[in-house]
Chains A and B, each alone.
Chain A
Amino acid sequence: MLKLDTEKKEHNFSYTSVKNAMEKVILDPSQKARIKVRNLNFSYGEKQALKNISLDIYEKKVTAIIGPSGCGKSTFIRILNRMSDFTLSSKVEGEILLDGKDIFSKDFSPVELRKKVGMVFQKPNPFPKSIIENIAYGLKINGVKDKHKIEEKVIKSLKRAALYEEIKNRINESALGLSGGQQQRLCIARCIAIEPEVILFDEPCASLDPISTAKIEELILELKNYYTIVIVTHNMQQALRVSDYTAFFLMGELIEFNETKKIFENPSDKRTEDYITGRFG
């Protein structure tokens, strides 16, 4: 009986005829791809969370991952810097190439990978230390010892995260005293201090008010000049505002990938259209 149900469900979702999924994944050969994802499958326990995902992340562009809850978008972004390693009994197939090197190969340590591919989380998660210590931590563990150099880098990244002016007088106070939006920008500063090449944002504005959200979006557009950015978002307007490319995920599948404009103006899949016009999700 149960089996019958699931079959029926699958049937419901194949109402648009997709003969070749790759047709709706339009890669842009004119751009330089920093990350190439090819035939990525990911499962934990019995559940297959991602099915045969292939896409490119382009240099100094913002790629948005959109889709309804549970579609695998957060799962996907967490694989890009192997935070998924900590998911119990998980299994990855396929390959992810960062500048041509397979991130799952044995000679590419996850620690090295995470230095290059930083991450900003859904909820701001500063350490219970001072503002300066929060940023200095990443530098210290990556081998920067000179005190002046650390301070210089801390200030530089605070400026780049558009936080310095607000907090310059209380840089030695606890980071926990900052507002949610400031904490999130501190986390961004902490992330860029170690000079990553790619920054992953996992719904960075999910717990923030509209004003803080606007500040973070502005910041992302600014950071685009220096870093390659991937952002998971629930908010379609946000994807439209900040991203150059958009990937639409549904039930673990990549339904469509294209330039953001094209996805929003002229989606080639019925399901994408339904989602961005708010018919489901």
Chain B
Amino acid sequence: MINADTYKFSIFKILTNSLCKTNKDIKQYIAFSVIKLTFFLTVSILVGIIGFLIFKGARVISLDFIFKMPENSMTSGGIFPAILGTFYLVTLSVIFSAIPGIACAIYLNEYGPKGFISTLIRISINNLSGVPSIVFGLFGLAIFVKQLNFGISILSGSLTLSIVILPIIISSTREALMTIPQSMREASMALGASKWTTIWKIILPQALPSIMTAIILGIGRAAGETAPILFTAAVFYSRELPKSIFSEVMALPYHIYALITEGTSPQQQIPIAYGCALVLLFLVIIISISAIFIRQKQRSLYAKTGH
């Protein structure tokens, strides 16, 4: 959201600097028109994508589609194993990444010495979030699948996904911690609280809504990623539902990829792929909306304080 704002602002600036310096009204008119245009463009792209998917995929969506196993070598039936697989992968990857991520953010913001090393860690985290996800996939294949011998499994896939979302969780949590005013820490310490008590009882509860938002955004990211699970967890078709964390699974994003590239009867399978995409998109949208909702709730909490 911030990115979009700064983007619009920079266009606004370029325009106002280069065009018609004489007439303020014209400048304003142009700037506002550009802002409106980009706004409608952004919205229409989103609406376009959703509309396209609904148009292409809605007719296969039904309760059976969501809750049944695939049939007739995936030319009919449901996509339940893929939904379930994505659910397993996402849940485990959040469990694996949330605790170390939050701990790392607490260390960086509250305990760690401010200096060369913390700068180095910060830069590493930023770079980690820029690494293409296929590289994480290869890393997961080499380390979790081969070296640690977890095989192609839910465990390998969710560990790989957890590395993908770790930087998101660390940097958002750290930002959340930074917004807690220093005076809160001082107030607590001055009452004879230790640093840990202050973090546990005062800082974390106040930062919790933002941390939850970060985790939910991480869930959205993990649910949509294909490349990290390509070699580590996902299979095109499994006869039964996964039995343990060492089973291989079907997953929504990979299922779409597989149906389109490897399907044997495109006539039936391409609509199913669109249906999958629609389900995945709605999952991610629901997740994002709940993140916005939590953030909004937190904002109204702070509006009271006047900060």
Q: A residues touching B (Cβ–Cβ < 8 Å)? A: 81, 83, 86, 88, 111-112, 114-115, 118-119, 121, 123, 125-128, 137-138, 141-142, 174, 176-177, 187, 190-191, 194
Count of residues in B whose CB is under 8 Å from the partner chain: 21
A128 in contact with B190 (CB, 8 Å): no
A114 in contact with B304 (CB, 8 Å): no
Closest to B192 in A: A115
Residues of B within 8 A of A86 (CB): 185-186, 189
**Known A121-B186, A141-B197, A176-B305: A112·B202 in contact at CB below 8 Å:** no
Q: B192 contacts which of A125, A126, A194 (Cβ < 8 Å)? A: A194
The complex places the Cα of A119 from the Cα of B192 at a distance, in Å, of 10
5 A-B pairs (CB sep. < 8 Å): A83-B189, A115-B192, A121-B190, A141-B197, A177-B304
A83 in contact with B184 (CB, 8 Å): no
Q: A138 contacts which of B184, B192, B304, B305 (Cβ < 8 Å)? A: B192
Q: How far is the CB of B92 from chain A (nearest CB, A)?
A: 34
Q: Any chain A CB within 8 A of the CB of B114?
A: yes
Residues of A within 8 A of B4 (CB): none
Q: Any chain A CB within 8 A of the CB of B201?
A: yes
Please give 10 more A-B residue pairs, beta carbons under 8 A apart, in addition to A126-B187, A141-B191: A111-B192, A111-B194, A114-B190, A115-B192, A119-B190, A125-B186, A125-B187, A127-B188, A128-B305, A190-B191
Q: How far is the CB of B205 from chain A (nearest CB, A)?
A: 9
Residues of A within 8 A of B193 (CB): 111, 138, 141
B186 in contact with A83 (CB, 8 Å): yes
Q: Any chain A CB within 8 A of the CB of B183?
A: yes
Residues of A within 8 A of B202 (CB): 127, 137
Q: Any chain A CB within 8 A of the CB of B206?
A: yes
Q: How far is the CB of A112 from chain B (nearest CB, A)?
A: 7
Closest to B183 in A: A125
Residues of A within 8 A of B301 (CB): 128
B192 in contact with A112 (CB, 8 Å): yes
Residues of B within 8 A of A88 (CB): 114
Interface string of B153-196 (1 = CB under 8 A from A): 00000000000000000000000000001011111111111100
The complex places the Cα of A241 from the Cα of B243 at a distance, in Å, of 77
Q: How far is the CB of B296 from chain A (nearest CB, A)?
A: 17
A127 in contact with B183 (CB, 8 Å): no
Residues of A within 8 A of B188 (CB): 127, 137
A127 in contact with B184 (CB, 8 Å): yes
Q: How far is the CB of B186 from chain A (nearest CB, A)?
A: 6
The complex places the Cα of A186 from the Cα of B165 at a distance, in Å, of 42
Residues of A within 8 A of B185 (CB): 86
Interface string of B255-283 (1 = CB under 8 A from A): 00000000000000000000000000000
Closest to A112 in B: B192
Residues of B within 8 A of A190 (CB): 187, 191
Interface string of B98-117 (1 = CB under 8 A from A): 00000000000000001000
The 10 A-B residue pairs with the shortest CB-CB distance, nearest first, are: A115-B192, A125-B183, A138-B191, A119-B190, A125-B187, A114-B192, A176-B305, A141-B193, A141-B197, A176-B304
**Known A121-B186, A125-B186, A127-B202: A191·B192 in contact at CB below 8 Å:** no
Interface string of B192-213 (1 = CB under 8 A from A): 1110010001100010000000
Q: How far is the CB of A50 from chain B (nearest CB, A)?
A: 20
The complex places the Cα of A126 from the Cα of B183 at a distance, in Å, of 9
Closest to B198 in A: A141
The complex places the Cα of A191 from the Cα of B305 at a distance, in Å, of 21
A141 in contact with B187 (CB, 8 Å): no
Q: How far is the CB of B188 from chain A (nearest CB, A)?
A: 8
**Known A88-B114, A121-B183, A141-B201: A81·B190 in contact at CB below 8 Å:** yes
Closest to A116 in B: B192
The complex places the Cα of A194 from the Cα of B202 at a distance, in Å, of 17
Residues of A within 8 A of B206 (CB): 128
Residues of A within 8 A of B192 (CB): 111-112, 114-115, 138, 141-142, 194
Residues of B within 8 A of A128 (CB): 206, 301, 305
The complex places the Cα of A127 from the Cα of B301 at a distance, in Å, of 13
